[in-house]
Amino acid sequence: MSEKEDKNKKDSESQVLSRKELSKRRFLTGATAAVGTAGVSVLAVPFVKSLEPDAAAAAASIVTVEISGIPPGGHLTTSWQQKPLIIVRRTPEMLATLSQVTAMLKDPDNKVPQQPPYAQNIYRSRKPEWLVMMQVCTHLCCSPSYDPEKGTVTPDWLGGFFCACHGSRYDLSGRVMHGSPAPANMVIPDYTFIDGDKSVQITGLEKKSKLC
């Protein structure tokens, strides 16, 4: 074999090896890209799922309470999210006291968002006679007692809620009184009447409201 033929053979073999090496590199690159893409997909799934609302938690936050058996002046205590909640059916006499204690209140107009917009009124409710409220003192999360009788807490007491832990007082709408360590009115949850007003469905709290 001549020197020229030997050189041509080596060049041909070199080209074959180059093509094989190139194909191998392309395969490895493609495989790496595929694995990389798969890795991104695998990582993305739990991240996306973490952004989805927890349906079970949302369902657990909805509580329905039957109120048809509560007489005028009566009340019912229950819980929402393991926190005490009270429902009071106020009488006209009880409602009349709300305008009589205005000067005694820290936030009589409910300017601090401790209630849904529809409850930003003197009654702090959808309907005047019904008070649906978290029975949690905004000072240190104690549970105030419900004391509707006049004169039971102080001589000028017209009825309301009294926290024995540190002496915070609230009127019959859960509005905090001057001289109380509690900084804000008690929280009104988001709720609606259902079943022809026979039941109340509590669905959550306003984002800006603070229990304590």
Burial 200-212 (b: 16+ CB within 10 A, else e): bebebbbeebeeb
- Tell me the two tokens of residue 147: 């004391």
Q: How far is CA 47 from CA 33, 39, 41, 44, 53, in A?
A: 21, 13, 10, 5, 12
- Is residue 85 within 8 A of residue 79, CB to CB? The reply is yes
CA-nearest of 97, 91, 99, 82 to 135 is 82
CA distance 139 to 106: 14
Distance from chain centroid for Cα 98: 28
Is 166 a residue of the active site? Answer: yes
Beta bridge partners of 160: 147
Burial 103-119 (b: 16+ CB within 10 A, else e): ebbbebebebbbbbeeb
Strand order in the sheet with 160-162: 145-147, 160-162, 169-170
Residues noted as catalytic: 166
